[in-house]
Amino acid sequence: MSDLETFRAETRAWLEANCPAEMRTPMSGDDDACWGGRNFVFQSEAQKLWLERCAAKGFTAPAWEKKYGGAGLSRAQEQVLRKEMDRINARPPLSSFGVWMLGPALLKFGSEEQKLKYLPPITRGEVRWCQGYSEPGAGSDLASLQTKAEDKGDHYLVNGQKVWTSYADKADWIFCLVRTDNTGSKHHGISFLLFDMETPGVEAKPIKLISGKSPFCETFLTDVKVPKRNLVNEEGQGWNIAKYLLTHEREMIGETGGVRPVSEMAADIAGLEDGKLADPILRGDIAQAEVDDWAFKMTMGRMLSEAKAGASLGAKSSMLKYYGTELNKRRYELLMDVAGGDGLEWEGERSNDGRLAKSWMRTKGNSIEGGTSEVMLNIVAKRVLEMPGA
């Protein structure tokens, strides 16, 4: 048996023995995820156990080195682990901006001291992070951000406002883009700071969305003192780190895995006549969505393998983000078409408190957050197709 096959056999056995039965059912949304953190309330003993077992094994951040709380897996082993987890429908043990975003940034740009301090608690689900990027005047044009960090010798004094900070009201720490220099071009003078959300002067206010939910906050920063050792890399490197991270974020948002096929949901909701959905036009639209969904998944796989083979994904991630989010919006429009009036119920038990309608409204943000579809198309045109102009 090859080393990889041995690893597969061991992993399969470990998952069989350690993944609780309750953690082998599909999640129906963000609410079912395990986010971890100081204030997180586990939904079940199984959820807690699953996190602890995976964390001890390094499986919450499998590719990270062991000293940082990972399992030190190779890319190939990581794929095997993912496949084996999919095989038994295992839920992700931890959903974490720390694993997805801050981790990759620290691993590339952080000091050894910072990596050892911040990464292990992330993998154990002990510290939950949020991302402080957008501001009221800096959305698609992120580099025009104005939150100011003044050099006060041993610390920075931070003043400004962030917006669209995901789960800032539930997070323990924030990684935040601030302006340390106002003199050069807007891309220069941006720095990357880390601080505790309990620091005096930090206040997070949830924003109520059209979905009725509040996954985002406005975050007000008033005379917040941040020790200088919490600066990642050097002053002025913030934009490089942010760009690197946005690439990760775009790949993540573009990902559509783990959702039930829309055709299956449509068959459940609307029922079949002679084995077919009764509405032939809707049937055609759903078939097209299934084709695009499948082809898009194949594209994610292909582009990631190409990147592994030595090429960089770079601006291509903007295409994936654009395509994946537009596809997800289409999927929910189709589900709403299928459900009709039943899908429009916003409250009450029958609709599970409007789960479908609220998810549908939530998807509208997919093509806005992390860079709008229009900005993604601009980036593709400029960086991939090398078209002229701004």
Partner 1 sequence: MGLLLNEDEVMMRDMAEGFFADKAPTAQLRKLRDTKDETGFDRGLWGEMAEMGFAGVLIDEDHGGNGMGYMAAGLIAEQIGKNLSATPFLSTAVLAATALSKGGSEAQKSHWLPKIADGSTIMALAIDEGGKHNPRKTAASAVKSGNGFKISGSKAMVSDGHVADQIIVVARTSGEVGDPSGLSLFMVDPKADGVTVERTIMADSRNSARIELNNVEVDGDAVLGDVESGDAVVEAVLKAGRAALSAELLGSGQEAFDQTLTYLKERKQFGTIIGEFQALKHRAAHMYGEIEVARSAVLAALTALDDDDANADLYVSMAKAKLGKTAKHISVEGIQLHGGVGMTDEYDIGLFSKRIRVAQEMFGDANFQLDKVATTMKF
Positions that interact with partner 1 (CB under 8 A): 261, 263-264, 266-267, 272, 275-277, 283-284, 286-288, 290-292, 294-296, 298-299, 301-303, 305-306, 309, 316, 319, 322-323, 374, 376-378, 380-382, 384-389
The two tokens of residue 13 are 């056995």
Return the number of the residue (66 or 308) whose C-beta is nearest partner 1. 308
Return the number of the residue (180 or 318) whose C-beta is nearest partner 1. 318
Q: Are 91 and 48 in contact (CB under 8 A)?
A: no
Residues 6+ apart with CB under 8 A from 332: 359, 360, 363
Return the number of the residue (200 or 389) whose C-beta is nearest partner 1. 389
Return the number of the residue (50 or 323) whose C-beta is nearest partner 1. 323
**Minimum CB separation from partner 1 for residue 329, in Å?**
15
Total Cβ atoms within 10 A of residue 357:
22
Q: 128 φ, ψ to 5°?
A: -105, 130
Return the number of the residue (4 or 287) whose C-beta is nearest partner 1. 287
CA–CA separation, 246 and 319 (whole Å): 13
The two tokens of residue 380 are 């593709």
With residues binned 3-state (H G I as helix, E B as strand, rest as coil), the percentages for the chain, rounded to 5, are 50, 15, 35
**Minimum CB separation from partner 1 for residue 354, in Å?**
25
**Minimum CB separation from partner 1 for residue 388, in Å?**
5
**Minimum CB separation from partner 1 for residue 215, in Å?**
27
Beta partners for residue 136, in sequence order: none
**Minimum CB separation from partner 1 for residue 1, in Å?**
21
Residue keyed to tokens 């807690």:
48
Return the number of the residue (240 or 263) whose C-beta is nearest partner 1. 263
Q: Are 175 and 242 in contact (CB under 8 A)?
A: no
**Minimum CB separation from partner 1 for residue 12, in Å?**
20
Residue keyed to tokens 């783990």:
258
The two tokens of residue 378 are 């601009």
CA–CA separation, 321 and 253 (whole Å): 6
Return the number of the residue (88 or 384) whose C-beta is nearest partner 1. 384
User: Taking Cα atoms as reference points, which of 202, 171, 168 lies closest to residue 40?
Assistant: 171
Residue keyed to tokens 């490089």:
240
- Ramachandran bin of 352, using left for φ above 0, alpha for ψ from -120 to 50, beta for the remaining angles: left
Return the number of the residue (234 or 268) whose C-beta is nearest partner 1. 268
**Minimum CB separation from partner 1 for residue 357, in Å?**
22
Q: Are 73 and 82 in contact (CB under 8 A)?
A: no
CA–CA separation, 380 and 317 (whole Å): 9
Total Cβ atoms within 10 A of residue 57:
17
Return the number of the residue (349 or 386) whose C-beta is nearest partner 1. 386
**Minimum CB separation from partner 1 for residue 368, in Å?**
16
**Minimum CB separation from partner 1 for residue 322, in Å?**
6
The two tokens of residue 113 are 């001291």
